[in-house]
Amino acid sequence: MMRSERILDLVLELLRQSENGVPVPEAPPAGTEFSAAEWRAALDGVHRLRLRADPGRASGRSSQRVQSDLERLSLSPEAFGYLLRLRAAGLIDEQAGEQLLQDLLQNEESFVGVEEMREAVMALLLDPTSGPGGPDSSRVH
């Protein structure tokens, strides 16, 4: 797994812990597989997401994204769940998530699993002006 993917996974885990009331330490716990630099990068990502928190989310309003028939046939539940977690965390906005799904479904000739979704998301996050569908196809926060 690439370093950036590890950090993204750690950001998601730290956000989940924080939302569940679990204190997030400032340094990696003993025995963790993450380096101090990766931990700091993830904490920075969590902090930036909290600063940009959507006021609509704070009010407790939420909506459920339902898969289309094509998405159910083409995406693993884990891949779709991964995308939903990124959207809920504020890493990808609704428009970017929809464009990412559309591009993946058009470009993939086979079933899209979590690894394919992760690769597409990382490409989008590392170069937001050039998502899977080309320049300016998606937006990230």
Model confidence pLDDT, tens digit, residues 64-83: 678 888 888 889 999 998 88
Contact between 75 and 67 (Cβ < 8 Å): yes
In terms of average pLDDT, the best of 3-7, 9-13, 76-80, 107-111 is 76-80
Same domain for 47 and 104: no
What is the DSSP code (8-state) at residue 139? Answer: -
Is residue 62 in a domain?
A: no
Contact between 100 and 124 (Cβ < 8 Å): yes
Domain span at residue 10? Answer: 3-51
Model confidence pLDDT, tens digit, residues 108-140: 677 899 888 888 888 777 665 554 444 444 444
Is residue 87 in a domain?
A: yes
**Section 36-54 average pLDDT:** 76
Is residue 41 in a domain?
A: yes
Same domain for 131 and 101: yes
Tally of structural domains, the chain: 2
Same domain for 83 and 110: yes
pTM above 0.85, yes or no: no
Ramachandran sector of residue 31 (left: φ over 0; alpha: ψ -120 to 50; beta: rest): left
Same domain for 122 and 74: yes
